[in-house]
Chains A and B, each alone.
Chain A
Amino acid sequence: MNVASILDKRRVQWNELESLCDAMESRGRTDRAGGPEHRGAQGIARFSTLYRAACADLALADAYQLPPNTVTYLHQLVARAHNQLYRANQFEPSTWVDVLFYEAPRQIFADSCVRVATILFFGLFTLAMYMGYDEQRFPGFANAVMGETQLENLESMYEQKLNGSLDHYVSMAGFYINHNTGIGLTCFASGILIIPCLFKLAYNAVVLGVAFGYMARPDVTGGDNFFQFVTAHGPFELTAIALSAAAGLRLGVGWFRTGGLNRIDSLRRSAIQAIPVMAAAATMFVLAAFTEGFLSPSPLPFIFKAAWAIMSSGMISFYFVILGFPWPKRSRGSHSPRYESTTIDSDASGQRSLGHVTHAT
C-alpha cells in the first residue's frame, strides 16, 4: 500500500469531518452536514469519532512519513474540529447577579489595592480641596491647577439656579454614562501599566478637589448651586472612580506580586480577580449617571439630594462591609471565601496545563 492510496482512503473521512465542521461553524449543530447519520445525537457521535480518527492520523502522520503539506493539512483539520468540539461557554447573564453581589464585594473587602486607591484618591481630593479653598495660605493654587478660564467657566455654569427640563435630564444622563463610565474603564485598562492609572487617578482627584474647594470659597458666586448639584451623585461617582482604579491596580500588581506563579499566570489570575471589581465600579458609574442626569440638576430642595447622598453612601457601605465581610459559613459550602472562585478557576487551569506537559513528554 503506498502513501497516496492511504491518503485517498483516509481522505473520505477527512472530507466528512470537514463538512461537519462547516455545519458546526455556521449553525453550532451537525444537522446540516448532509446525510441522515449526521442528525442529532448520532451526528455528534459521528463527529467525535471522526475527530478522534483524525487525531490518530495526525499522530501517525510522522511515522508514515506523509508529505509535510498533508501534515499541515491535518494540523489544521484537527485544530478546526477541536475548536468546534470544545466550544466557548458564553456569558451567562444569570451569573452576573452572583458576580455583582457575591464575588465583587468580597473581592473589594479583601483587596489591598482598593484600600490604596481609595486612600490615594480621597487623600489627594481632600488635600486639593483644602488647598483650593484657602487662598491666603496657598495663593494661586486653584488657578495653577485649573486655569483662569476654566474657573470662570465653572462659576458661570452654576450662576443660575438649577432648573432642568425632562429633555435636559435625559440627554445629560446619556452623556454621563458615556463619558464617566468611559473614564472609569480607561482608568482600569491603563492599570496594567500602573503609572498611567495612578496618574489618571491623581489627576482626577486633584482637579475635582480644586473645583470643590474653589466653589466652597465664600466670595465665589454659584457655590450653593454647585453643591446642590454635586451632593446627590458624589458618593457613587467618586467611589466608582477609586474602585475602577483599584481594579486596574490589581491588574498591574499582578506583574510583581506573583504569589509563586510565573508573571504571566499571575497577571491572568489578577485580571480575573479584577473583573468583578470593575463590574461593580461600572454599575456605580451608571447609577451615578442616572442620579447626575435626573436628580442632581432638578430644582428639588437640598434635603432630598442630601438624603439620597446619605442613602447611597449607606448602600455603598452595606455593599462593601456587610456583603463583603468574609462570613465563615455560606450555604455554598465554600471553605475560603477570599478569592475563592477565582483561585479555584486558575488552579484548575494550572493543573490542566501541567497535565498536558506531563502527557506530552
Chain B
Amino acid sequence: MSVPAALDTTIAVVTPENIAFNYQLAGPFRRLPAYLIDVAIRWLIIIVVVVLMLITGSLLDLQFFGPFIGAGALILNFVVSWFYGATLETYFNGRTVGKWATGIRVIDIEGRPITGKRALIRNLLRIADFLPAAPLSSLGAEDAPPAFIIPTAMVCLLSMIFTRRMQRLGDLAAGTMVIVDERSWRLPIAKVDDPRVPALASFIPADYRVSRSMAKTLAIYAERRHYLTPARRREIAKHLTIPLIERFEFRNDIDPDLLMYSLYYKTFLADGSGELPDLGNLADFSPLAKDANKPTQVLAANQPLTPMRAPS
C-alpha cells in the first residue's frame, strides 16, 4: 500500500475481525498529569493506612504494636510504590486512578488489553525511564543533602519522541502503548434548517459526483463554520467555489459559504428521491448565470444572512 501515513497521533490496529481502527495516542503532556495524580494517590494510601494503623495501635497497646506498625508501614511503602501501577493496570483494564482521571489507557500494541506480566514490566522499568537523575544540590539548593534527587525523565521523553507509538522504554519492553480513551462521544451531523440551502442544492447538476476528498472537506467545513465570522467563511469557501460556480454555470455573486453548505446538504443529507422541500418565497429563484437578469437577489454574497437562520 502506498498510502502515506497521516501526520497525526493515531495508530491503526487490525482486529481479528479484519477491521482496522484507529487509536489516538497519548503523549507526554497527557501522561504526566496522570502520573502526578498517581504519585499523590500513592502517598495518600500510605499515609491513610499508617494513620489508621497508628490509631488502632494506640487504642490497643502502642508499646507492643509500635514496631509492627513501623515494619508494616515500610512494607506497605514497598508494595505500594513498586506495585501500585502494575496491579491497577492489570485489574482495571489498563487504567490507574490517574489514567482514569485524565482519560487515558494502556493497551497492548496489537490493541488487546494489557496482561499482568506486561503491566509489571512497564511499571518496574519506570525507574530507568526517569533517568538521569539530577541532584537537588546542583540546581541551586546548595545545602540540600545529596540524597534529594530529581528525576529528569530525559530517557523517557527521548524514547517517546523517537518511537512511532510514543512509547517509553517500559512500554517498548512490555509491548504496550498509551491511548486516549474518550468516554463522551457525540455523533455530530449538522442539521440544516435554512430553506435557501435545499433551494440552491436543487440547482446543482445531478451528474456532479462529490469526490471522496471533497466529501471530507465539506464535512470538515460544515463542522467548523460555526466558529467563523460570515466574512471569514466566504473568504475560505471562495477558493473552492470559484471553479464550482464556473462548472455549474451559476451567477458570480452566489454566496460561497452557501454554496459549500448546499453541497454538504446534497452529499450527506438530501434525499435521493428528488422531491423538493417547500421553498416559500424562494420558489421562483434561480442562481444560474443565464437567469441573471431576473430580479431576485436573495442568495447574493452582499447579504449577510447565515444559512442556519431562515431569512425574515
Contact = CB atoms under 8 A, between A and B. Distances in A.
Contacts of B272: 1-2
A167 B215 contact: no
Interface stretch (B27-35, B184-192, B294-302): B184-192
A82 interface: yes
A178 B71 CA distance: 9
A357 B13 CA distance: 10
A82 to B, nearest CB: 6
Contact of B117 (A59, A70, A267, A272): A272
Nearest to A7: B189
A246 to B, nearest CB: 15
Say what secondary structure dominates the interface of chain A: helix
Interface in A70-93: 70, 72-79, 82-83, 86-91
A88 B22 CA distance: 20
Interface stretch (A183-191, A223-231, A232-240, A297-305): A183-191
A251 B268 CA distance: 53
A82 B267 contact: no
A284 to B, nearest CB: 15
Contact of A4 (B20, B120, B174, B268): B268
A265 to B, nearest CB: 8
Contacts of B125: 189, 192, 251
Nearest to B91: A90
Interface in B98-149: 105, 107, 110-117, 120-121, 124-128, 131
B266 to A, nearest CB: 9
B82 A2 contact: no
Contact of B19 (A7, A55, A193, A275): A55
Contacts of A4: 189, 268-269
B17 interface: yes
B21 A88 contact: no
A174 B90 contact: no
Nearest to B266: A2
B241 to A, nearest CB: 19
A175 interface: yes
B94 A88 contact: yes
A90 B15 contact: no
Interface in A110-144: none
B115 A88 contact: yes
Contacts of A189: 124-128
A91 B116 contact: yes
Contact of A52 (B17, B64, B66, B179): B17
A65 interface: yes
B72 interface: yes
Q: How large is the interface on B (under 10, 10 to 19, 20 to 34, 35 or more residues)?
A: 35 or more
Chain A interface size range: 35 or more
A109 to B, nearest CB: 21
A166 B131 contact: no
Contacts of A9: none
B207 interface: no
Contact of B78 (A91, A170, A181, A190): A181
A58 B271 CA distance: 22
Nearest to B23: A79
Interface string A350-361: 001100110111
Contacts of A275: 117, 120-121
B127 A75 contact: no
B289 interface: no
Nearest to B173: A271
B268 A78 contact: no
B131 A190 contact: yes
B216 interface: yes
A11 interface: yes
Given A82-B21, A83-B105, A359-B18, 8 more contacts: A7-B189, A55-B15, A67-B222, A90-B90, A171-B71, A174-B70, A193-B169, A271-B174
25 contacts: A1-B272, A3-B269, A4-B189, A69-B187, A69-B219, A75-B21, A79-B13, A82-B13, A83-B93, A86-B111, A86-B113, A89-B115, A90-B116, A171-B67, A177-B74, A177-B75, A178-B77, A189-B127, A190-B128, A251-B173, A254-B173, A267-B172, A271-B121, A278-B124, A357-B14
